[in-house]
């Protein structure tokens, strides 16, 4: 079945550690996105990529990094520079000139 | 920059009644798309319905319809014959043609009462 897979579902991190969230899609979509969701709030865009080896900062990119070496994969690294990383992270993909975005099931990151 | 406003933080609706979730947007661009997503407690985002800015007819998908009023910059979601499984967060979102990144509103929490 085609879709987007995020792993892990739950992630715990100690302060000062970098952590990488995985996002893989087999929908053959060109564009991929990372969003952050805090309790009771909407989604805010961290990074997006419209083509392999290219990506752009979203609204809240500070403290995060990404790579897009393969069309299917768009991992997100939460660095120690991110002041408040505890949140729910959602990955999405879409056709470059299509309509809806498809979302993964999300990763809940908790800093302990 | 586009902005999405959802003014209803929470709504309670009796089962089988229709419900309207409000969404207004702010843009000076003429080419854009409007989306509604449902987020159950499990956290996944489920696409419900899409309306393009040039679409003359309101979009419909089963029990969902989008009341698109372009001059008022309004894109309300209407759910007919609500069901208990409709209880969830609902987000309105927008993107521009050629740049598919979505901007989301803050959401409305809908609770269906049996």
pLDDT tens figures, B30-68: 999 999 999 999 999 999 999 999 998 999 999 999 999
What are the structure tokens assigned to A93, written together? Answer: 């993909």
Distances (CA, A) of A112 to A61, A109, B32, B108: 22, 10, 41, 30
Please state the φ and ψ torsions of residue B95, each to the nearest 5 degrees. Answer: -145, 160
pLDDT tens figures, A34-71: 999 998 788 999 999 999 999 999 999 999 999 999 99
Distance from the Cα of A81 to chain B's closest Cα (Å) equals: 25
Distance from the Cα of B42 to chain A's closest Cα (Å) equals: 8
Measured between CA atoms, the residue of chain B closest to residue A40 is B106
Strand partners, B60: B65
**A13 at B interface, C-beta within 8 A:** no
**A27 at B interface, C-beta within 8 A:** no
Which residues in chain A have their CB less than 8 angstroms from residue B93's CB?
Answer: 43
Pairing of β B88-96 and β A107-111: unpaired
CB contact under 8 Å between B100 and A45, yes or no, is: no
Interface test with A, best of B102, B108, B109 (most A CBs within 10 A): B102
Please state the φ and ψ torsions of residue A18, each to the nearest 5 degrees. Answer: -85, 150
How many C-beta neighbours within 10 Å does residue A6 have?
A: 22
Residue B2 has pLDDT above 80, yes or no: no
Average pLDDT, chain B: 94
CB contact under 8 Å between A42 and B43, yes or no, is: no
- What band does A85 get if pLDDT is binned at 50, 70 and 90? very high
Residue B96 has pLDDT above 90, yes or no: no
Pairing of β A64-66 and β A54-57: unpaired
Please name the helix (run of DSSP H) or strand (run of DSSP E) that holds residue A50, with its range, or none.
strand A43-51
The 3-state DSSP class for residue B33 equals: strand
What are the structure tokens assigned to A79, written together? Answer: 């660095």
Nearest to A34 by CA among A20, A22, A48: A48
Sorted by sequence, the CB contacts under 8 Å of residue B28 that are 6+ apart come out as none
* CA atoms within 13 A of residue B66's CA, in its CB half-sphere: 29
């Amino acid at each position: 079945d085609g879709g987007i897979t995020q792993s892990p579902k739950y992630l715990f991190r100690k302060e000062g550690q970098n952590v990488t969230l995985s996002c893989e899609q087999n929908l053959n979509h060109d564009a991929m996105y990372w969003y952050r969701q805090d309790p009771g709030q909407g989604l805010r865009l961290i990074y997006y990529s419209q083509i392999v080896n290219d990506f752009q900062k979203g609204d809240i990119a500070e403290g995060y990094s990404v790579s897009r070496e393969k069309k299917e994969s768009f991992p997100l690294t939460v660095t120690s520079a991110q002041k408040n990383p505890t949140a729910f992270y959602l990955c999405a993909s879409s056709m470059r000139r299509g309509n809806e975005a498809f979302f993964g099931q999300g990763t809940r990151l908790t800093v302990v | 920059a586009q902005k999405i406003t959802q003014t209803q933080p929470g709504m309670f609706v009796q089962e089988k009644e229709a419900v309207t979730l409000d969404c207004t947007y702010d843009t000076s661009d003429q080419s854009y798309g409007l989306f509604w997503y449902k987020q159950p407690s499990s956290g996944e985002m489920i696409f419900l319905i899409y309306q393009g800015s040039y679409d003359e007819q309101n979009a419909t998908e089963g029990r969902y319809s989008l009341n698109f009023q372009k001059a008022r910059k309004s894109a309300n979601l209407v759910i007919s014959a609500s069901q208990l499984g409709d209880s969830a967060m609902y987000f309105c979102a927008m993107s521009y043609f050629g740049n598919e990144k979505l901007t989301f509103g803050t959401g409305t929490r809908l609770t269906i009462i049996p």
